[in-house]
Structure 1
Amino acid sequence: MLHRGTRRELTADAALAAGLTAATCFWGDVTFPYHDSHLATLLTSLPLTVPVVLRRKQPLIMLAVATVGGLLQCVVLEAPSPSLIAVPIITYSVARWVPGRDSRLALLAGFIGAIVGPYRWSHTADPWIATPNPHNVFYLLFLICAAMVLVPYQIGRRTRENDEAELERELAAEAQYEAQLAAQAERARSIEARTRNEIARELHDVVAHSLSVITVQAQGGKALAAKNPDAAAQVLDTIADTSREALVEMRRIVGVLREGPAEYRPQPTLCDIPAMTERAGERVHLEVTGTAPIVPPTLGLAAYRICQEAVTNFLKHAGDQATCWMRLDYEPDRIVIDVTDDGAGAAVVDDGAGNGLRGMSERAAAMGGTARAGPRPEGGFGVHAELPLAQADR
């Protein structure tokens, strides 16, 4: 691809061509008092100097016109013209702006001229050049002309190679920068998706569990209202407490989403599991083995939410007459959670979402543990989760 040049560069090339033309094509007998026609000198010099204006825009056309003018000059003139000073500029320009092997046309044209011109001038009768030994003159002029072609060509090619290498470095840096931007955008999307999933899990756990507890307590309170008003009032208190806690959790989550001040409430921990199961009703039984360890908040929240979702799943699907047993084993290296019931099990009609069970697995996996849930062979439903303590420490 040719370099078209900016307006400023094209103006500079026009000025260079005009300067070369003015300096070399109208010297007359003052500088070179040989007997060639001034008109012939002018007509053969102009094709060498004027096309320099095209050295960036159309360097091959410049080379073609200059080659014709140079060969004509070798035939017509008996001595070299000052306009030959344009040859190094032309050669450099072709080497600099023409890509690939096409730039070698400058070498071909230059070396043809380096042979034809010195041969013509070494056999001239002009007193400025004539010598008893024309071969020595030919060799000298050939070396001078060849150097005027070869040296500018090498400089032009080296300059082009340096520019291409710099361009490749810039393109590589730009590609690396774009890759970094893409990676940052991908990380941002991943973080955003993970945050949405976490918020969705929190909303599901809070809303589903609270509504399930409220529903179960309301159904029990309705039956107790006529038989034991005091017990019914206690059930209403449980419903009110559960609703209040759910509202606080909802305000906290919505406050985070709005990036505004959220009502502060500590995240649930292992110590909150007994109160959660107690609010779920008398059909949920808790057995704890060992002492609750001191764990990071993330692990405590994960264990609490897994137990909460297991109880919620029991309240929603097991049936009114089913019973739930929760067992917490605090072992030295892990927390084991087992939640079983004697409800409908495989016969339950799923709601089609499965967000709660999937959320349990995701929470456990995030802590380096596992969680499995499904109908039991002997009937009912079971949840088994293991959360390693060592993974949480890291």
Structure 2
Amino acid sequence: AIAKSGAFFEPGTGPVWLNNLYCAGTEYYLRNCDYSCTGNSCGHDRDASVICKLQYRLKGGSGPHEGRVEVLYNRRWGAICSDNWGPEEAAIVCDELGFDKKGAVAKQNAYFGAGTLPLILHNVDCIGHEDALASCKHNGWGKTGCSHSEDVSVVCQPLVRLVDGSGPHEGRVEVFVEGQWGTVCDDGWTTAATRVVCKELGYTTTDAVYKRGAYFGQGTGPILFDDVYCRGSEAHLRDCKHSCWDQKNCNHAKDVSVICKLPVRLVGGPEPNEGRVEVFYNNEWGTVCDEGWGDEEASVVCRDLGFHPDGAVVRKGSHFGQGSGQIWLDKVKCNGSEAVLANCEHNGFGQATCGHANDVSVICKPIPYRLVGGSGPREGRQEGN
């Protein structure tokens, strides 16, 4: 939310009711703040104004930078119709989500799939200089008269990427600043910074690790960030404190790298070693298509979950029941030696062409002992032989 003073939206008329307002920020109503009861000492040339930011999320894309636009209004999420939707509107959404508005691409007609939420905006028409989508012209909240086949989507320019790893979850950290990609120096790099990168890319922050000394090879071009310091709560790496712009006290031999964990779980089976395969990406659990699945793919899942990779069995056709929500992976192809499923070949996250009737399941060979008391099948007190 942005505060504006000096009658930013032109002076009002009538009485000035409140003056000397002081809010802690936790109050639910403005009347709960401290204030003077009348504004006799204040004129309309000092009328206060506010710009409230809408909250957005992108659903159905391959990562946090793209997807169907959903907006939070009046405490409920809703979708937007695509009439008049173009680069000006897409740029505002990307900017409010923390991405670079340059290169924002507008997509119409349910490009990332039709949603199911109420349609709450229609005929959004922006000039391009607005601070928020709500400042653009539109039909009014809830006045749509369209269908979900017209849901709007955007593709924003990613601000960070992982390069030259064995899969999209790992690699040399590169950032996008003012139209160019560059690397990041490992000076001062911490686990907190690693978690910010993984979170920004849509992975869980659990078990994320970093590597110094150009672990995934040296990059080229500028070194854009150095001496990065993150608390861990930042939404984007660029929000962390850092020195910037082609560092002279660093070289590409010190390019930092990150390995993000792609969590996998088995759901719906009678035992912990069997169930529907689900992966966690972009802050959401989703399923995997069964096309092409065999012993190699099943063994990778079982190994990742802490079971023995030998003897893994595939079950196709939603054997343990259909999942819901996203189908994250399709056409997965493993050679069997990969440590995690993300290292296998696949179409890309969110690019599935199947339905939940084709959710794949796996049965792992039971281990001769069990782990009791932990938060999952990979930890706990060992019992058995």
Q: TM-score, normalised by structure 2?
A: 0.17
| Structure in which a larger fraction of residues adopt helix | 1
Structure scoring higher RCO (CA < 8 A, sep ≥ 6) equals 2
| Greater C-alpha radius of gyration | 1
